[in-house]
A and B are shown apart, each in its own frame.
Chain A
């Protein structure tokens, strides 16, 4: 059993880690742009804001399985194959990026308007406000949002297992469901549950420990 579970767990961690990194790289800046381009915000750009909002909504409406198939050609282009553990990182990142953008947007929006006004009154530039005020002030909330992203990605990565991604989801479906090995399915699910619990726990702890509010 362990020789099946452990490699699958490592595959899951591998997929989740890299898709978290890539979705943050895309989603984090988008989330910030979503906030600052709003009306009456520090970099007001109504048209850009509207376009970005629509694109994110469209991307978020795609069911993940469909999205995964749609980006098969892209995965092939980037990693040389359209199925498999590494290839799955491409649709996972694309699926999670708009989600990350929304999560980051809502965290950044929680920052007290007063401190933004204060920064402006001190002659801070837009980048200074973003990096010295918005992000540090929102950090506890950002960490919770990133935790949520990781957990979502664990869920997505399990779904990706259904159509040829690797990992625990794939194990549960291939051996457990199709191979009638109930024990493997149960253990895979159990490991996923533990993983989710553990990450949520760590995220909560970390967020609480740095929050000085």
Chain B
């Protein structure tokens, strides 16, 4: 369905040339959900943008259903783009247009009649369960609803491929789950091929068939998701997996054996560098017992988890947990 050969993309930065994507080779099959995971700055966003030439590749070829899209002129490229839906981290809805008008937008570009547009938009609204919001403006919607509008809009032209550029990264875990369920449903009902990029292993675990790990612009590992979890070959793959809740460690600590409240913190990026635990001890009248933990330093960031036992007054513990959540740490009470 999508075949990428020796793809590279570089940016000029003063006198420097920065290679965001280097020598990537990929083959994505029809009907597959293919994940590309990497940390910020790894080049995943550039890579997915090359697939509809929002970024022009510097070298290499991209074939979509056998057609080399890197050699298309602007006019033909626009035609191809109509067959490739795309959703974004920040939804990119038209803020001055209603939900209805947002979904109608690609159909208006196609030059469909009002009647045809009406029919199609209503079907799509129904499909993403937002019929009651048809006249609402994006500012009146929640994040999950906005992404559902964006998905409906991306599907309007009956594309064969859907690209998701961090489509769930701005959403809370519960909403992420519902959007992923929707993507899964779409894939089956519309026979769509989905390529998504993410920095969240949960997303890969939940819906991807295969995954590629990208680091410094290169694909360093690619496998079926299950295989990757069973047998990660690179250090980065390992860290991504261990950043997920590891059942093995958690099982060792059953909350019943402790008097205090057990919590599990997972960190990614900046929050791993902050002295969060000591801040909590200073700010709240509680004791903290560190039971287990693991922080891995990657090239540009760190991932890890900590299992803590909190003892003290109930309300104080509650407040401490609230505080941690506000510090961008993923907190799970066990």
Chain A interface residues (CB < 8 Å from chain B): 112, 114-115, 117-118, 120-125, 128, 132-133, 136-137, 139-140, 210-213
B283 cross-chain contacts in A, Cβ below 8 A: none
Who on chain A is nearest to B109 by CB? A124
Q: Report yes or no: B78 in contact with A123, Cβ–Cβ below 8 A.
A: yes
In the complex with contacts A117-B88, A121-B84, A122-B82, A136-B96 CB distance below 8 A:
yes
For window 100-130 of B, CB contacts with A under 8 Å fall at 105-106, 108-109
Question: Which listed residue (A117, A124, A132, A136) contacts B54, Cβ 8 A?
Answer: A117
Q: Report yes or no: B78 in contact with A114, Cβ–Cβ below 8 A.
A: no
Asked whether any CB of chain A lies closer than 8 Å to the CB of B36, the reply is: no
Q: Report yes or no: A121 in contact with B52, Cβ–Cβ below 8 A.
A: yes
In the complex with contacts A118-B92, A121-B54, A137-B95, A213-B82 CB distance below 8 A:
no
In the complex with contacts A117-B88, A136-B97, A122-B105 CB distance below 8 A:
yes
Asked whether any CB of chain A lies closer than 8 Å to the CB of B245, the reply is: no
Most chain B beta carbons < 10 A, residue from A120, A133, A139, A140: A120
Q: When A and B form their complex, which 6 residue pairs have the shortest distance between CB atoms, in order from nearest?
A: A123-B78, A114-B92, A123-B81, A212-B137, A118-B92, A121-B86
In the complex with contacts A122-B109, A123-B81, A124-B109, A115-B94 CB distance below 8 A:
yes
Return 24 A-B CB contacts under 8 Å, by A number. A114-B91, A114-B92, A115-B92, A117-B54, A118-B92, A121-B54, A121-B86, A122-B82, A122-B86, A123-B82, A123-B109, A124-B78, A125-B78, A128-B109, A132-B105, A132-B108, A137-B94, A137-B95, A137-B96, A140-B96, A212-B97, A212-B138, A212-B139, A213-B139
Asked whether any CB of chain A lies closer than 8 Å to the CB of B90, the reply is: yes
In the complex with contacts A114-B88, A132-B108, A212-B139, A120-B96 CB distance below 8 A:
no
Q: What is the bound-complex CA distance between A157 and B175, given in angstroms? A: 57
Who on chain B is nearest to A114 by CB? B92
Who on chain A is nearest to B150 by CB? A118
Who on chain A is nearest to B106 by CB? A122
Q: Report yes or no: A213 in contact with B106, Cβ–Cβ below 8 A.
A: no
Chain B interface residues (CB < 8 Å from chain A): 52, 54, 77-82, 84, 86, 88, 90-97, 105-106, 108-109, 137-139, 157, 163
Q: What is the bound-complex CA distance between A14 and B79, given in angstroms? A: 49
Q: What is the bound-complex CA distance between A90 and B52, given in angstroms? A: 48
Q: Report yes or no: B82 in contact with A212, Cβ–Cβ below 8 A.
A: no
A122 cross-chain contacts in B, Cβ below 8 A: 81-82, 86, 105-106, 109, 157
A213 cross-chain contacts in B, Cβ below 8 A: 95-96, 139
Q: Report yes or no: B95 in contact with A112, Cβ–Cβ below 8 A.
A: yes
Most chain A beta carbons < 10 A, residue from B79, B84, B88, B105: B105
Q: How far is the CB of B189 from chain A (nearest CB, A)?
A: 21
Q: Report yes or no: B54 in contact with A120, Cβ–Cβ below 8 A.
A: yes
In the complex with contacts A118-B88, A122-B106, A124-B109, A212-B95 CB distance below 8 A:
yes
Q: What is the bound-complex CA distance between A174 and B78, given in angstroms? A: 62
B78 cross-chain contacts in A, Cβ below 8 A: 123-125
A120 cross-chain contacts in B, Cβ below 8 A: 54, 81
B79 cross-chain contacts in A, Cβ below 8 A: 123
Q: How far is the CB of B241 from chain A (nearest CB, A)?
A: 31
A121 cross-chain contacts in B, Cβ below 8 A: 52, 54, 81, 84, 86, 163
A117 cross-chain contacts in B, Cβ below 8 A: 54, 88, 92
Q: Report yes or no: A118 in contact with B95, Cβ–Cβ below 8 A.
A: no
Q: How far is the CB of A78 from chain B (nearest CB, A)?
A: 37
Q: What is the bound-complex CA distance between A210 and B105, given in angstroms? A: 19
Q: Report yes or no: B90 in contact with A114, Cβ–Cβ below 8 A.
A: yes
Q: What is the bound-complex CA distance between A190 and B233, given in angstroms? A: 80
Who on chain A is nearest to B80 by CB? A123
B96 cross-chain contacts in A, Cβ below 8 A: 136-137, 139-140, 210-213
Q: How far is the CB of A213 from chain B (nearest CB, A)?
A: 5
Q: Report yes or no: A136 in contact with B94, Cβ–Cβ below 8 A.
A: yes
Q: Report yes or no: A112 in contact with B81, Cβ–Cβ below 8 A.
A: no
B138 cross-chain contacts in A, Cβ below 8 A: 212
Q: What is the bound-complex CA distance between A16 and B94, given in angstroms? A: 33
A136 cross-chain contacts in B, Cβ below 8 A: 94, 96-97
Q: Report yes or no: A133 in contact with B109, Cβ–Cβ below 8 A.
A: no
Known: A115-B95, A118-B86. 13 other contacts (CB 8 A): A112-B95, A114-B90, A115-B92, A115-B94, A117-B92, A121-B54, A123-B82, A123-B109, A136-B96, A211-B96, A212-B138, A212-B139, A213-B96
Q: What is the bound-complex CA distance between A197 and B92, given in angstroms? A: 36
Q: How far is the CB of A112 from chain B (nearest CB, A)?
A: 7
Who on chain A is nearest to B98 by CB? A212
B97 cross-chain contacts in A, Cβ below 8 A: 136, 212
Q: What is the bound-complex CA distance between A117 and B109, given in angstroms? A: 15
Q: How far is the CB of A180 from chain B (nearest CB, A)?
A: 53
